[in-house]
Amino acid sequence: MSPVTYHGLAQLMTRTYHGEDLTALGQDLIQRASRPTHEGGPEVLLDLSILLHLRGFHEMARDVQMQALRQRQTYVLPAARAPALRLLALMVPGELNANTPLEFLVEDSDIELHQLFISPELLFPSQIPEHDVAMVAVGESEQTLPLLHALAQALVHWPRPILNHPARIAGLTRDGVALTLAGMPGVVAPMAQRVERGTLEVWAREEHAFERERAWDYPVIVRPIDSHAGTGLMKIDGREGWQDYLVQNEADVFFVSPFVDYRSSDGLFRKYRIALVKGVPFASHLAISDHWMIHYLNGGMEDSAQKRAEEAHFMECFESGFARRQANSLALVNRALGLDYVVLDCAELQDGRLLIFEADSSAVVHGMDPVELFPYKRPAIQKVFQAFRQMLEDARHASPGLSSAVSV
């Protein structure tokens, strides 16, 4: 029998990102999983579920993942070299963005990553893997909020130090972040309100219904609850926009926020991804576009040497540039969020204020970009990885239980 190999998210996503055809690997995983001996064990099923998610077969991927987790809840990704630290990630079953993608942060390091999946269906096993530090990797979503609140109680007497307080992760809802940062000097966090589908239907039918219920003017932006990466996100400029939006989106609950025009003086939009590691900011990427809805993959960064040159300057001069300009705002945001590790998607308004789009503990910070096209990225991302490694080392020597760096 061939030895068991658990590829994991970081390896499989990186290979897909680089355009590698993983069809043969997928077929091999299917064949292994279908044999009576279940050759390769549940690792085969877990890898297969990741590949299915990457190919867009999400319902099938969830079924395969649960097949694996019913067999075993813990999985190990070995350190790239002699292991010096064991990190236990408390994770939840779900799609690829359901958890903090720690695999990218510990790649090519001396950190041995143990993944423990828990949910209302998958309770804590009787034996917890030996570890030096634990981290709550469960991301915020409507589905995970009950689990996060339960973990806040369950982890109080954990025998090892724990990073990222689950109650703080639970506060990363779009409306929760807006309320937490409301009125903060130098920071703009547009209010996000939960709106039922029936209310949007009224706004679509009745003249001035929106204006009667909201204190905002058009335009506004709307997105389904729990959506990310621009899925279902649209700018509504007037009543006629609601009907078109409802035809395209079948969700029952949405977030509606005032639209903030964050164009720079040259007319382009710039969105920054910043990782906060123990409160210290690090550059993850800069996306530049002539359209307000920016994501790194749609910003045309690969096609524009000029944009890449600007991103390179942003990263190389981050400490003396963006981080210095926004030092007070970032410190206030970090203190308010109270997390050991969190990622901000943000922009700078022309008056210098920091515009916060999203704060998320499960946003990906990675080193997947090809070095030949983005040679400046690896040094910047390595700083994040090194800071993360140091955070774990410092935590190893701290008191057991949830991080004392925050109070809830």
Q: pLDDT tens digits, residue range 157-205?
A: 999 999 999 999 999 999 999 999 999 999 999 999 999 999 999 999 9
Between the alpha carbon of residue 290 and those of residues 112, 264, 266, 297, 301, the distances in Å are 42, 10, 10, 14, 12
Q: 222 near 234, Cβ under 8 Å?
A: yes
What's the pLDDT score for residue 405?
43
Of 165, 173, 118, residue with least CA distance to 141 = 173
Measured between alpha carbons, how far is 242 from 226 in angstroms, rounded to an integer? Answer: 20
Taking the alpha carbons at both ends of the chain, their separation in whole angstroms is 50
Q: What is the pLDDT of residues 313-353, one digit of tens each?
A: 999 999 999 999 999 999 999 999 999 999 999 999 999 99
- Res. 279: pLDDT tops 70: yes
Contacts 24+ apart (CB under 8 A), 147-150: 147/92, 147/118, 147/119, 147/120
What's the pLDDT score for residue 297?
76
Quote the percentage of the chain above a pLDDT of 70: 96
What's the pLDDT score for residue 48?
96
Element (H, E) at 351: none
More confident residue, 296 or 354: 354
What's the pLDDT score for residue 39?
61
Domains and CATH numbers, the chain: 1-72 (no CATH), 191-258 (3.30.1490.20), 269-402 (3.30.470.20)
What's the pLDDT score for residue 299?
81
Average pLDDT, the chain: 93
pLDDT band at 1 (very low <50, low <70, confident <90, very high): very low
Measured between alpha carbons, how far is 125 from 162 in angstroms, rounded to an integer? Answer: 18
More confident residue, 141 or 2: 141
Measured between alpha carbons, how far is 367 from 18 in angstroms, rounded to an integer? Answer: 12
Cβ-Cβ contacts under 8 Å for 142 (sequence gap 6 or more): 225, 226
Which tokens sit at 383?
């700083």
Neighbour tally for 25: CB within 10 Å = 16
What pTM does this model have? 0.94
Cβ-Cβ contacts under 8 Å for 282 (sequence gap 6 or more): 274, 275, 276, 318, 380, 383, 384, 387
Mark 100-117 as b/e (b = at least 16 C-beta within 10 Å): bbbbbbbbebebbbbbbb
Rama region for 254: left / alpha / beta (φ>0; ψ in -120 to 50; rest) = beta
What's the pLDDT score for residue 213?
77
Q: What is the pLDDT of residues 86-131, one digit of tens each?
A: 999 999 999 999 999 999 999 999 999 999 999 999 999 989 999 9
Between the alpha carbon of residue 123 and those of residues 61, 120, 128, 334, 393, the distances in Å are 21, 6, 11, 32, 28
pLDDT band at 404 (very low <50, low <70, confident <90, very high): very low
What's the pLDDT score for residue 40?
64
Which tokens sit at 204?
């679509």
Q: What is the pLDDT of residues 106-118, one digit of tens each?
A: 999 999 999 999 9
pLDDT band at 4 (very low <50, low <70, confident <90, very high): low
**3-class DSSP state of 317:** coil
User: How many Cα neighbours within 13 Å face the side chain of 382?
Assistant: 9
